[in-house]
Amino acid sequence: RKEVEQDPGPFNVPEGATVAFNCTYSNSASQSFFWYRQDCRKEPKLLMSVYSSGNEDGRFTAQLNRASQYISLLIRDSKLSDSATYLCVKDSNYQLIWGAGTKLIIKP
């Protein structure tokens, strides 16, 4: 099993809709998880950290479920500018382990 697995998508979603995707991980010793966003041919940029208690930043909500070993990202009221690849990242002893990313396409 890969350490971090994501559905590659693409998820085609109409503007204004809510979209959610999950990321599963192995090796539960990991302490920190992140969602990064990557636009085409650009560097990854941190979207948000993921905490056990869940965290919300505007339209974005991230959750961590340690028992089932997955993290999730929920985007509400999606905008055209949300179109990107969303990368799930696990921090294991300061080495970041990356998922392959989920491609999201928001359609007008």
Partner 1 sequence: EPEVTQTPSHQVTQMGQEVILRCVPISNHLYFYWYRQILGQKVEFLVSFYNNEISEKSEIFDDQFSVERPDGSNFTLKIRSTKLEDSAMYFCASRTGGTSPEAFFGQGTRLTVV
Binding site residues, partner 1, CB under 8 A: 32, 34, 38, 41-46, 49, 87, 91, 93-101
Tell me whether residue 63 or residue 101 sits nearer to partner 1 (CB atom): 101
Tell me whether residue 78 or residue 90 sits nearer to partner 1 (CB atom): 90
Q: Report in angstroms how near the CB of residue 6 gets to partner 1 at its nearest.
A: 9
Q: Report in angstroms how near the CB of residue 32 gets to partner 1 at its nearest.
A: 6
Closest CA to 31 of 99, 106, 101, 94: 94
CA distance 55 to 46: 14
Tell me whether residue 78 or residue 85 sits nearer to partner 1 (CB atom): 85
